[in-house]
Amino acid sequence: MRAYTIHPLVVGVNETDQGVMTYLRDYGKRIVLPIYAFYLKGGQQNILVDTGLAEFVAPPDVEEKCGFKVMDFEAALASVGLTPEAIDLVIHTHLHNDHCENDAKCPNARIIVQKAEYEFLQNPHPVDHRYYPDILDGLDVVPVEGDAAVADGIEVIFSPGHTVGGQSVAVNTAKGRAIITGFCCNDKNFPARGPAVAPGVHINLADAYDSIQKIRRMADILIPIHDLAVGRRKCIPD
């Protein structure tokens, strides 16, 4: 099986409340929320997990405070020797806008997304305003259903709850199975003792709880999708 390295690219940043990450915990604590695209290096295809935000305003001191550089999509790709046109495959954890705003810049990419998530994107419930129904129009969308292998050494794991069709991305590495979570979370969702904490934002709380427990058990290397420490790492595993 092919082994990859994972390169986190910070392609956006928001300021939000920790309670958005952790259900019923730490409300009122303001945090910086990094937005990532992940470059999976090691195969014959150029593969990204998510594409991040197209427009954002980064606080002027974010690099000093957080220890990483926030870049626009093109600059982030250039930092790993790529261009948007060179991307062959984009795997989406889910389709909230902060994960897919740069898809249209990758004209040669196939877009892997859960069928349930893609259908929800096209007719979202008003309770969730983070879906832009036309954002994938004209792109090569490949819907999958449930767990599926999408490349040698890479599979998606159905992880609903935060959204109806979230999927975590399992990547074979030299140090075991790394999993990029398919739901919003950071390190605070994974206390040293006790169960993982469900995402604070969810379409189905019970599913969100079950998904985060499952992914925690399955991962040798766990990559919370909005964790600050992830952005300080040039390569996973080191």
pLDDT of 192 over the 90 cut:
yes
CA distance linking residue 96 with residue 52, whole number of Å: 10
Q: Which domains does the chain have, with CATH numbers?
A: 5-231 (3.60.15.10)
Q: Are 41 and 2 in contact (CB under 8 A)?
A: no
Which tens digit of pLDDT belongs to each residue from 82-125? Answer: 999 999 999 999 999 999 999 999 999 999 999 999 999 999 99
The mean pLDDT of 160-170, rounded to a whole number, is 98
Q: How many whole angstroms from its chain centre is CA 190?
A: 17
Q: Is the pTM of this model over 0.95?
A: yes
CA distance linking residue 157 with residue 93, whole number of Å: 9
Q: What is the distance between the terminal CA atoms of the chain, rounded to a whole angstrom?
A: 20
The number of residues making up the chain comes to 238
Cα-only R_g, the chain: 16
Which of 62, 68, 109, 102 lies closest to 85, judged by CA? 109
Which tens digit of pLDDT belongs to each residue from 121-138? Answer: 999 999 999 999 999 999
Query: What is the secondary structure of 151-220 as a DSSP string?
Result: ETTEEEEE--SSSTT-EEEEEEETTEEEEE-SS---GGGS-SSSPPPPPSS-S-HHHHHHHHHHHHHH-S
